[in-house]
Amino acid sequence: MKKFGFLLFLVVMMIAFPKMADASSYSAKIYLDGQQINVSSGAKVENINGTVMVPIRIVSENLGFQVDWSKATKTVTVQDGSQKVTMTIGSQYADINGQRVQMTKAPVLRGGTTMVPIRFVSEQMGMQVRWDNGTKSVHLTSGNAGSNPDGDDGAHTATVDGISFSDNKLMVAVTGNAKPSISKLGNPDRIVIDMVNTEFSDSFGTMNDYDEVNKFGQMAVSGYSDVKSVRYSLYNSSPLTVRIVLDLNQPANYTVSGLENGSGILTVALTAATDPSPGTSGKKIVVIDAGHGDHDPGAIGVTKKREKDFNLAMALKVEKLLANEPNIDVVLTRSTDKFLELKDRAKLANDLKADVFISIHANSGPSAATGTETYYYDQSDKALAAALHKEIVKAMGLKDRGVRYGNFHVIRETKMPGALLEVGFMSNKTDESKLFDPATQDRVAAAIVRGIKNYLNVN
């Protein structure tokens, strides 16, 4: 019966996904900083699986960027000042000032017209884009106009198309750029999945038990010891948020996969909750905090890279190394691109009664500023900061800017020794290149672990 349910789900998805993959064309309106721009006659906008694609001439004629097209290599280059983006028809990888970056959708040719993903191009040029599905309009916001006041970057671009539970796995079919935030809660035990800027598709109710009026549905689950039921609802309307709840019979851990490239199947696989709570086995508790996240990008680098991405990459690398340490339990304040208030980061560490708290950041300043510096708040923090700084400076190979006092919220409000790392400068081309070099990141992660172990005096 379980296998039949899973096969039925796959058949439904096979039927549904071809429809999702079809591009829809509209005579769309395009707005720049709130003002409608004139679009060339006949220009169409396509929404392919939640990725908004526009003719390249809109980029050149209306946004003012320099655009070059090479018929021989089928490449299009968009340039604005020092920022240069090169894309190839059919390839999901773009070149940004020499760096290879993956896009959610490759450029395509439509009757001799080159279509490019407007979100990707605009963000690389320091702009924001929002697709309004109700009015079929694209809203662009330049850097001069400030950030989207609602923090609603890319609203209405994702839909939940189907939900199934089989083989102890929750599977959610998603179209668009969904970013699930998943948490495990107790009293009662449950796993909660929130997807902001996401709604249920028009066809969702035909495949699932769903009350269109109350925007709520529930799936009964039988034959599984961990799960009672699966509930789902349009939890919030501003911004649109889909919430899915797995009601558990007992605590359970989980792994997450899917949606790496936007649309697809989000899979939440349940695993036995055999791991003890952090610290209950006598291990030292280390909390690693990746600064910024989601709508808060942190510092923007010379090549438009974002500090939040560096911070998270480093935190995940440190976590992976610390997971192999027999005398240390590691906890991350965030493991995905989500935003946490400063007070919530400190509260997490305080609630866990952690032994150390480390917040990872990258600096910004004049283009000539370079080097590594580490901050402490209280004298009791200084030894930890010094132990970390010594190792990180050696790993980065940049100027030693010293261990300094800093009145930062996350190390001021935590009750255990804490340190805030400024590994290098995003505003310096050499520093930025090192910060985003995978081999350098690996060395720095290992250096942070050595500093932690030296401070805690653990083997």
Which residues are designated catalytic?
422
Contact 325, 393 (CB under 8 A): no
Spatial strand order in the sheet of 400-405 = 328-332, 284-290, 356-363, 418-425, 372-376, 400-405
Provide the phi-psi class of 318: left if phi over 0, else alpha when psi is between -120 and 50, else beta.
alpha
Rounded to whole angstroms, the Cα distance separating 306 from 93 reads: 18
Query: Among residues 299, 296, 334, 328, which one has the least CA distance to residue 314?
Result: 334
384: three-class secondary structure by DSSP: helix
Tokens for 296, please give them: 């808060």
Q: For residues 411 and 235, what is the distance between their CA atoms, to the nearest angstrom?
A: 34
**Number of other residues whose CB lies within 10 A of the CB of residue 14:** 9
Contact call for residues 144 and 120 (beta carbons, < 8 A): no
Contacts of 404 (CB under 8 A, 6+ apart): 373, 374, 375, 376
